Amino acid sequence: MLRVIVRRLLQLVVTLIALSALIFIWLRNLPGGPVDALLGERATPETRALLTKALGYDQPILVQYGKFMQRILTGDFGNSIRTGDPVTEVIGRAFPATVELALAAMIIAVGLGVPLGYLAARWRGRFLDNLTIAGTLLGISIPIFFLGYLLKDVFTQNIHWFPPSGRVSTGIDNTNVTGFFVLDGLLTREFDAAADALWHLLLPAITLATIPLAVIVRITRASVLDVLNEDYVRTAEAKGLRHRTIRGRHILRNALLPVVTAIGLQTGALLSGAVLTEKVYNWGGLGTLITDSISGSRDYPVLQALILLAALVFVVVNLLVDLSYAFIDPRVRVR
């Protein structure tokens, strides 16, 4: 296991170095470039030349890349062009909102997806199986922004079950400890604030969970169907083992590897920023930060940090998935 962890960490370092090089090249070849983005309408040949020299863009490319990597390694991504605040602070304010939304969505997707996929496989060809297949096809096919506006119209405008947008209601005093509003309310014993944050969280989380839920259901169903045809399952049934034992030890445990892979990929994607869902519900996470950094302001320092953060999230999630394989299937530890 230690060898696996070390190998994955080395892959993480190589991935981030390669991605940093791509970002470095990309930033210097965009139309206008960082200099024009910083100067905006004030750009003149003289001011452009002065800022180019001040930023070190007149130096050899390898020297520029070395300084670029040095700043990244020290956590210095510069200041946001749009707000003037340090990039780490800008992302630090938005990241908890995305994590809270993504984790809530994945709890819904996994909590419903694995049982539904298992039941659909066990009752293959019956009503529940056919209904599940149709539902997952709809969940994958429907555009997320359309579903968001549809749910928002029904549940916030017509029957008023949920608030229309935002993370907390106006007038709610939520002490910000971690940036996760539900957790903050529980930690500070402000249970009204925690309940209000959870109330705001549910509808965006349900919207965001639709695609991961559909993917997990279909992969779980396919994986369980493969395991059901294995000889060890028929042997366990012939021995008269309890159904609970067969389901837990012989079917689900052996069917979980592809399901865990799908969960890891979906989690990494959601943690990188759910742009459309956050825009529909005015959530204020990384997705909103991405669109604000691209449109109009061309906030390159924030964009480069967000790209590196997304890569880091994917690599770390994949590392956790690889480690979970060893606990699910002991044969992985042997290999």
Using H for helix, E for strand and C for coil, what is the string for the chain? CHHHHHHHHHHHHHHHHHHHHHHHHHHCCCCCHHHHHHHHHHCCHHHHHHHHHHHCCCCCHHHHHHHHHHHHHCCCCCECCCCCCEHHHHHHHHHHHHHHHHHHHHHHHHHHHHHHHHHHHHCCCCHHHHHHHHHHHHHHHCCHHHHHHHHHHHHHHHCCCCCCCCCCCCCCCCCCCCCCHHHHHHHCCCHHHHHHHHHHHHHHHHHHHHHHHHHHHHHHHHHHHHHHCCHHHHHHHHCCCCHHHHHHHHHHHHHHHHHHHHHHHHHHHHHCCCHHHHHHCCCCCHHHHHHHHHCCCCCHHHHHHHHHHHHHHHHHHHHHHHHHHHHHCHHHHHC
**Count of other CB atoms within 10 angstroms of residue 180:** 18
> Is-contact 331 289, C-beta < 8 A?
no
169, pLDDT greater than 60: yes
Rama region for 68: left / alpha / beta (φ>0; ψ in -120 to 50; rest): alpha
Kindly state the percentage of the chain with pLDDT values over 70. Answer: 90
Q: To which residue do tokens 């470039």 refer?
A: 33
Instruction: Quote the pLDDT of residue 333.
Output: 57
CATH 1.10.3720.10 is held by the domain 92-162+205-333 = yes
CA distance linking residue 293 with residue 99, whole number of Å: 19
Choice among 31-35, 100-104, 221-225 with the minimum mean pLDDT: 31-35
pLDDT recorded at residue 252: 78
pLDDT at 202: 92
How large is the C-alpha radius of gyration of the chain?
Answer: 24
Boundaries of every domain in the chain: 20-73, 92-162+205-333
Tell me what pLDDT residue 5 has: 74
- Amino acid, single-letter form, for residue 164: P
Would you state the pLDDT for residue 140? 86
Closest Cα to residue 77, out of 306, 272, 286, 287? 306
For the chain, give the mean pLDDT: 82
Model confidence over 15-54: pLDDT tens digits?
A: 888 888 888 887 777 666 667 666 666 667 777 777 777 7
Q: Which residues contact 150 (CB under 8 A, 6 or more apart)?
A: none
Quote the pTM value.
Answer: 0.83
pLDDT for 213: 93
The stretch 145-164 carries a mean pLDDT of: 87
Sign of the alpha-carbon dihedral angle for 218, 310, 104, 150: negative
